[in-house]
């Protein structure tokens, strides 16, 4: 049975709703304090500067966190591949040094019967 998933709200809808709510709140705040537009503009400029600064800091933090996670991921991958390589290398060295201990992997013993050769016209 297929699992039903709730639809995810698109970012464009979230953006539009947030913008509308902020605009409404700015208007309400201006009305509540009796602010003329020129004063609201100055306040909003200051708020925008703070938001931009916070956005830059957030981006820097997110980038640093992502790069650290990526570094850890690739270090783990490299370590796993190195361990696999070392294990396979040891197995090959052991097989080379002790060929009598190697399992017989010929086609006859694997298939359990003689191979059949078919003629091609």
User: What angle do the packed helices 37-97 and 11-33 form, to 10 degrees?
Assistant: 150
Contact 67, 61 (CB under 8 A): no
Domain-embedded: residue 75 = yes
Give the model's confidence band at 108: pLDDT under 50 very low, under 70 low, under 90 confident, else very high.
very low
Percent of the chain scoring above 70 in pLDDT: 86
Q: Residue 69 sits in which domain range? A: 11-100
Task: Look at residue 20 and tell me if it is in a domain.
Answer: yes
**Summary count for the chain: helices (H), strands (E):** 3, 0
Looking at residue 105, what is its pLDDT?
A: 52
Residue 85 lies in a domain: yes
CA distance 92 to 21: 68
Domain assignment present for residue 40? The answer is: yes
How far is it, in rounded angstroms, from Cα 103 to Cα 23?
77
Q: Please check whether residue 106 lies inside any domain of the structure.
A: no
pLDDT for 3 equals 86
Looking up tokens 């925008």, which residue turns up? 48
Stated pTM of the model: 0.54
């Amino acid at each position: 049975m297929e699992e039903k998933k709730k639809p995810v709200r698109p970012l464009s809808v979230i953006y539009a709703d947030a913008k509308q709510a902020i605009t409404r709140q700015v208007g309400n705040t201006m009305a509540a304090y009796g602010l003329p537009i020129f004063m609201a503009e100055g306040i909003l400029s200051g708020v925008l500067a703070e938001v931009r600064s916070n956005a830059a800091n957030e981006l820097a933090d997110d980038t640093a966190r992502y790069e650290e996670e990526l570094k850890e991921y690739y270090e783990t991958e490299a370590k796993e591949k190195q361990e696999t390589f070392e294990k396979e290398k040891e197995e090959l060295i052991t097989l080379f040094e002790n060929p009598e201990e190697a399992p017989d992997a010929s086609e006859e013993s694997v298939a359990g019967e003689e191979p059949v050769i078919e003629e091609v016209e």
